[in-house]
Amino acid sequence: MLLVALHACAALAQTEGLQELNGTVLYVKTEGTGTPIVAVHGGPGLSHHYLAPQLGKLSKWFQVTFYDQRASGQSATPAPDEITLRVFAGDVDAIRKKLGHDQIYLLAHSWGALPAIKYGLLYPEQVKGIIFCNPIPFSREYDGEMAAAQQAKMSGADSTNRSLILGSPGFKAGEAAAYKKLLLLSFRHSFYKESNFSKLDLDVPDNYQAASQALYKGLGKELRAYDYYDSIKNFAFPVLILRGAVDVVPQAAYQRMMDALPTATLKVFRKSGHFIFMEQNRKFNRAVRKFVHR
CB 121 within 8 A of CB 85: no
CATH class given for the domain over 5-143+189-292: alpha beta
Q: What is the mean pLDDT of residues 260-282?
A: 97
Question: Model-level pTM?
Answer: 0.94
Q: What is the mean pLDDT of residues 91-96?
A: 98
Give the confidence band of 4 by pLDDT, cuts at 50, 70, 90.
very low
Give the confidence band of 13 by pLDDT, cuts at 50, 70, 90.
low
Exposure of 73 by Cβ count < 10 A (0-12 exposed, 13-18 middle, 19+ buried)? buried
Task: Tell me: pLDDT of 6 over 60.
Answer: no
Give the confidence band of 294 by pLDDT, cuts at 50, 70, 90.
confident
Give the confidence band of 255 by pLDDT, cuts at 50, 70, 90.
very high
Percent of the chain scoring above 70 in pLDDT = 96
Task: Report the helix count and the strand count for the chain, using DSSP H and E.
Answer: 11, 9
Q: For residue 37, what are the β-bridge partners?
A: 64, 105
Q: What is the pLDDT of residue 2?
A: 39
Exposure of 179 by Cβ count < 10 A (0-12 exposed, 13-18 middle, 19+ buried)? buried
Residue type (1 letter), 30:
T
Q: What is the pLDDT of residue 9?
A: 41
Q: What is the pLDDT of residue 201?
A: 96
Q: What is the mean pLDDT of residues 160-187?
A: 96
- What's the whole-number average pLDDT of the chain? 94
Give the confidence band of 10 by pLDDT, cuts at 50, 70, 90.
very low
Those residues whose C-beta lies under 8 Å from the C-beta of residue 237, and which sit 6 or more positions away, are: 120, 124, 127, 128, 129, 130
- Listed in order, strand segments (DSSP E) in the chain are 5-8, 13-21, 24-31, 36-40, 63-67, 104-109, 127-133, 239-244, 265-269
- Domain(s) labelled CATH 3.40.50.1820 in the chain stretch across 5-143+189-292
Q: For residue 106, what are the β-bridge partners?
A: 38, 130
Q: What is the pLDDT of residue 200?
A: 98
